[in-house]
Structure 1
Amino acid sequence: MATRYQNIADALRSRIVSEEWPPGMRLPAETELASQHSVSGPTLRSALDVLETEGLIEKRHGVGNFVRVPLHRITYPCGQTSPVAQAAVGTALRISVSSRVTEAERDLASLLGVPLGAPLTEHVYVSRMDRTPYSLARVYLPSSVAPLNAPVAGRSPWGDDFGRRFAEAGRPLCSVAERFRARHASAQEAEILHISTRTAVLTVERTSVDETGRVLAAALLVLPGDRAEAVLTTRVQREEAEWTG
């Protein structure tokens, strides 16, 4: 059975979806909404939290709650290479890249097959459309891998432009594995992407392996659910039946 705050969230959601409350509109004050629905302030705020998690409203501290203006969506094409990825997101997307040397923590050490504390190079990609962040990608390379120059900003938001460089260095990739998970944004991710920690994000853990089975690079992509999606296309081969007389 739905709780009181869920029923209120349903009622408020219908007003947003029907555009009775159009995009950009400031919602009535929380005290007014609580009075309309005969509930306490905490119950009303729980309902608003649901709508914020769904990306329907945004809270502006000291100002109020507003119906969110729908954002353009970018598409992460699973298993594709950077030229295709860049075409998928369009030319309006701008990518910035920063790099630093760090050490392998437990999860990264296991993923890359390197000792705990081994030196790594981290490349951080943040894509933006206008001033709105759209995606975050962190790419990690072991220092034992042939040195690669920092990526060129503006190519691909997914940090997948290292494949060509590995090939040029004589270590072509053999396979790329991707693992998808849905969760809420961490505090650091929320700060970078200008979203709430209640916002649902899709994460992609990508490992790139060479012909010897060595992991050359690991990446973690974070895609906010209200402005990004992942699409997997599978090619189907038609089999022609053979008839014998």
Structure 2
Amino acid sequence: MQALPKTRTDGRLPLYARLRDQLASRIANGEWSPGDMIPSENRLAEEYGVALATMRMALKQLVDEGLLERRRGTGTFVKQPAFRADLFRFFHVHDVDDPAGSVIPESRILSRQEVALPPEVRQAFGEETTTGCLKLERVRLWSGVPLLFEEIYLRLPDFDGLLSLDPKEMGPLLYPVFLQECGILVASATDELSFGTATEASARHLELPEESPVAVIERIARNPVGRVIEYRRVHGRPERFRYRITLGEQPT
């Protein structure tokens, strides 16, 4: 039987879901790369010592989530991820000297810890009970000036792979890291913009007086089958935010 990967699985999950997590971990760890054909259902079922029907359910979940794809008459392959740039960059940052351009702010992970679910995160995840979540605090900077303070809540054990990862290796874009380290593909997200006041933490990291006005962005991100896997709350300097929308057809 296949040895369990380092990524922890929740023993309360059904067997096929735990198999899904283990197979996703093998993809995330690079055992199977994008474009590779994975072993057959029969071989994997024998390797893990499970019924063929159970293994088929685990593989179907990975296909539904966009990590695997079936090719008729050939086999099952690790899918090449089709990321969207607008998901990568959250809100676009523009240089005042080049308003048509868009840049990726610098990023710095401030903290990483397992926490109980705050009420708003529990509501976003849509479950009565869960095992808690991983919380990341991150600051985004532009030319060394703090621009955004982020509180990012991620499901556990889905994101256990981030617990041992050096934060310096995460880089400015988190979603590629989610796929590489945890086998989690973010397919869609809903952003809501409002305005509020800075908390003690956001004021400190944005270098603002406490309770200063801030832009507030809440993001709910989902995997390809619509399961919410991330809740993000962001405070930003309001003077750097502009809202623009174009209605109707533009002349060509």
> TM-score, normalising length from structure 1?
0.51
Structure 1 unaligned blocks of 5 or more: 1-77, 241-245
**Backbone CA RMSD of aligned residues:** 3.8
Q: Tell me which residue corresponds to 2:213.
A: 200
Distance 1:236 1:215 in 2: 32
Distance 1:200 1:192 in 2: 14
Q: Quote the offset at 1:235 in angstroms.
A: 10
Q: Tell me which residue corresponds to 1:36.
A: none
Q: Quote the offset at 1:133 in angstroms.
A: 2.5
Matches within 5 A, 1:161-180: 161-162=174-175, 165-166=178-179, 169-180=182-193
Matches within 5 A, 1:110-129: 110-115=123-128, 118-128=131-141
Distance 1:84 1:111 in 2: 20
Q: Tell me which residue corresponds to 1:184.
A: 197
Please list the CA deviations of residues 186-238 of structure 1 after superposition, one character each: whole Å capped at 9, or x if unmatched. 23321232212342211111111112221011111110113x22556769877
What is the identity percentage for the equivalent residue pairs of Structure 1 and Structure 2? 13
Amino acid at match of 2:194: R
Matches within 5 A, 1:87-166: 88-89=102-103, 93=106, 95-115=108-128, 118-128=131-141, 132-149=145-162, 150=165, 151-152=167-168, 155-156=171-172, 161-162=174-175, 165-166=178-179
Q: Are residues 145 and 235 of structure 1, via their aligned partners in 2, closer, same or farther at CA, if it must alter by over 3 Å? A: farther
Matches within 5 A, 1:31-46: none
Conserved 8 A contact 1:139-1:218:
yes
Matches within 5 A, 1:46-125: 79-82=86-89, 88-89=102-103, 93=106, 95-115=108-128, 118-125=131-138
Which residue among 236, 242, 252 is the counterpart of 1:223?
236
Q: Are residues 173 and 200 of structure 1, via their aligned partners in 2, closer, same or farther at CA, if it must alter by over 3 Å? A: same
Amino acid at match of 1:202: A
Conserved 8 A contact 1:181-1:204:
yes
Structure 2 unaligned blocks of 5 or more: 1-84, 94-100
Conserved 8 A contact 2:170-2:177:
no
Aligned residues: 158
Q: Tell me which residue corresponds to 2:10.
A: none
2:241 match: secondary structure: strand
2:225 match: secondary structure: coil
Please list the CA deviations of residues 82-103 of structure 1 after superposition, one character each: whole Å capped at 9, or x if unmatched. 4995883467x45344211111
1:165 match: secondary structure: helix
Distance 2:187 2:107 in 1: 29
2:201 match: secondary structure: helix
Q: Are residues 90 and 171 of structure 1, via their aligned partners in 2, closer, same or farther at CA, if it must alter by over 3 Å? A: closer
Which has more radius of gyration?
1
Conserved 8 A contact 1:167-1:173:
no
> TM-score, normalising length from structure 2?
0.50
Distance 1:144 1:232 in 2: 38
Conserved 8 A contact 1:79-1:232:
no
Q: Tell me which residue corresponds to 1:5.
A: none
1:166 match: secondary structure: helix
Distance 2:235 2:160 in 1: 26
Matches within 5 A, 1:3-18: none
